[in-house]
Amino acid sequence: DGGITQSPKYLFRKEGQNVTLSCEQNLNHDAMYWYRQDPGQGLRLIYYSQIVNDFQKGDIAEGYSVSREKKESFPLTVTSAQKNPTAFYLCASNRDRNYGYTFGSGTRLTVV
């Protein structure tokens, strides 16, 4: 289903808890991205990685962390420092800068 898989589909976080969102792709894409989507806000870039073992902060990186140990995987950790984490999180990848992104199906995170 599109070659990029996010899990879980729904996630609930308690106050002060860290949670990790999974993103795996089998498209052999070099670049991977994490976006946060809030109603009326569009897509805001959290972190991106152009190559294995390297990643860069996006526009709203505070309270989040990532790793890129394998080409196929780009997990996102939402830390307790992120004060308003309730949102829809989308992972994306692309072959190179000449192409658009392929998105995963998203993870909806809710603070309880």
Chain residues that interact with another protein, rule: CB under 8 A: 2, 33, 40-43, 45, 48, 50, 56, 58, 90, 97-98, 100-106
**Distance of alpha carbon 104 from its chain centroid, rounded?**
9
For another protein, the closer CB: 43 or 52: 43
Closest approach of another protein to the CB of residue 32, in Å: 11
| Cα dihedral value 18, 32, 89, 83, nearest 10 | 40
Q: What's the min distance (Å) between Cβ of 29 and another protein?
A: 14
For another protein, the closer of residues 48 and 64 by Cβ is 48
> Are the C-beta atoms of residues 76 and 20 closer than 8 Å to each other?
yes
In the complex, the smallest distance separating the C-beta of residue 111 from another protein, rounded to whole angstroms, is: 19
Q: Name the residue nearer to another protein (CB basis): 22 or 50.
A: 50
Strand order of the β-sheet with 19-25 is 4-7, 19-25, 76-78, 64-66
- Residue 88 corresponds to which tokens in the numbers above? 């829809």
